Chains A and B, each alone.
Chain A
Amino acid sequence: MEFLLIIISAIFVNNIMLAQFLGTCPFIGVSGRLSTATGMSGAVCFVITLSTLVTYLINKYLLVPFGLTFLQTIAFILVIAALVQMVEIVLKKISPSLYQALGIFLPLITTNCAVLGVALNVVTKEFTFGGGPAHMLGLGEAVVYAFATSLGYGLAMVLFAGLREHLDLNDVPKPFRGVPIALVTVGILAMAFMGFSGIV
């Protein structure tokens, strides 16, 4: 039950993109076409889940016992950068087809603040779900939260890419063309997602 609440909360209520503004740059950058948007979502999903698992363990068994939590930011970003490189190499070896689909997005992910944001969030913040007591997340909860959050990111991205493809066909006033009209559209999409607030 709790896992279900975490998933609904992370995808709809606290959508990482539309409510927390993490990962906006690549969101605006690659959401022009539906195909690139799905590719990027897949890559982000993979990296966020994996990096949260690794950084959670590093924080719990390395940084906290030795009193090094002040190195959190620097350690996490290095781990994420190394992980992204590794994923790229492994993917190239074992699944060339998946690498073809996700490969070009991987280098961009290191500087996607959604990845570092989620990793830092799960080890520093207390969470409440469905009126339960506030608590730090356990390993299982952290991984489920990370996975659901990245699904939410993918959902927002794919929805938005669909809208943008239609926008291209319309006669938009000149100063609005490109990013401004995209931002206004995301604003309206975010308003729709506000309707979910408070359900868990």
Chain B
Amino acid sequence: MSKLSIFTKGFLKENPTFVLLLGLCPTLATTTTALNGVGMGLATLFVLVLSNIVISAIAPVVPDKVHIPVYIVVIATFVTILQFLMQAYTPGMYKSLGLFIPLIVVNCIVLGRAEAFASKNGILDSALDGLGIGLGFTVSLMVLGLVRELLGSGSVFGWKLFSGDGILVFVMAPGAFLVLGYLMVLFNKLAKKE
């Protein structure tokens, strides 16, 4: 597989949200606005790239029986480092993403990539894979956030497009499921045509 295709597969062919259906909890919970979606996506990207690099480096020497616990510890370490950094430098974003930052530990995308890709490939390829999947995840979250913010509060990235309240249900829990469901339908329809 070429370096380019390792990087780009995360956007369409192996899009974590719409094709692999991984990491749905943060996808649904943090996309009340486009900005929160991007924040969550980038936070996951940070952990994904670093854990992919470290895991691809240590995978050859880790005994098979304990490889899952070791990967979880590595991932949890990077998540905690991310928590410190966000608390120190982006406290607003840390507050609005809340519980879902520590929960990156159990995001199936991160452990899934470690198991399926990083443990079998070189450091550079793993880094590219993490970057591609992470950006694919970020873009999906941004799209979902954009739609929900536009319908729910009538704004885009905080810029008010029309006055009034919008359809509040889209900012609340049911809207998350509905918008994701319909975006998936759209994705299926378009992907079939290609």
Stretch binding the partner chain, chosen from A97-105, A142-150, A179-187: A179-187
Contact status of A194 and B25, CB under 8 A, knowing A73-B79, A77-B72: no
Chain B residue at minimal CB-CB distance from A193: B173
The B150-194 residues at the A interface (CB cut-off 8 A) are 169, 172-178, 180-182, 184-186, 188-189, 192
Stretch binding the partner chain, chosen from B4-12, B105-113, B129-137: B105-113
Contact B177 A73 (CB under 8 A): no
Contact A188 B174 (CB under 8 A): yes
Q: Does A64 sit within 8 A of B, measured CB to CB?
A: no
Which one of A25, A176, A190 lies within 8 Å of B25 (CB-CB)? A25
Contact status of A25 and B108, CB under 8 A, knowing A116-B103, A186-B177: yes
Contact A180 B188 (CB under 8 A): yes
Q: Does B121 sit within 8 A of A, measured CB to CB?
A: no
Q: Does A78 sit within 8 A of B, measured CB to CB?
A: yes
Contact B76 A73 (CB under 8 A): yes
Contact A23 B25 (CB under 8 A): yes
Contact B106 A180 (CB under 8 A): no
SS class, residues of chain B in contact with chain A: helix
Q: Does B63 sit within 8 A of A, measured CB to CB?
A: no
Q: Does A200 sit within 8 A of B, measured CB to CB?
A: no
Contact B22 A190 (CB under 8 A): no
Distance in Å: Cβ of A192 to nearest Cβ of chain B: 9
Chain A residue at minimal CB-CB distance from B75: A77
Q: How large is the interface on A (under 10, 10 to 19, 20 to 34, 35 or more residues)?
A: 35 or more
Distance in Å: Cβ of B66 to nearest Cβ of chain A: 11
The B76-103 residues at the A interface (CB cut-off 8 A) are 76-77, 79-80, 83-84, 99, 102-103
Stretch binding the partner chain, chosen from A1-9, A14-22, A127-135: A14-22
Contact status of A73 and B25, CB under 8 A, knowing A18-B173, A21-B173, A81-B72: no
Contact A73 B83 (CB under 8 A): yes
Contact status of A70 and B29, CB under 8 A, knowing A81-B72, A120-B102: no
Q: Which residues of A contact B99 (CB under 8 A)?
A: 117, 120-121
Q: Which residues of A contact B108 (CB under 8 A)?
A: 25, 111
Contact A184 B106 (CB under 8 A): no
Q: Which residues of B contact A28 (CB under 8 A)?
A: 21, 24
Q: Does B49 sit within 8 A of A, measured CB to CB?
A: no
Q: Does B28 sit within 8 A of A, measured CB to CB?
A: yes
Distance in Å: Cβ of A34 to nearest Cβ of chain B: 21
Contact status of A180 and B184, CB under 8 A, knowing A73-B76, A113-B106, A194-B173: yes
Which one of B21, B76, B77, B177 lies within 8 Å of A184 (CB-CB)? B177
The A99-126 residues at the B interface (CB cut-off 8 A) are 110-113, 115-117, 120-121
Contact B72 A190 (CB under 8 A): no
Contact B25 A180 (CB under 8 A): no
Contact B24 A77 (CB under 8 A): no
Contact status of A183 and B76, CB under 8 A, knowing A24-B28, A113-B103: no
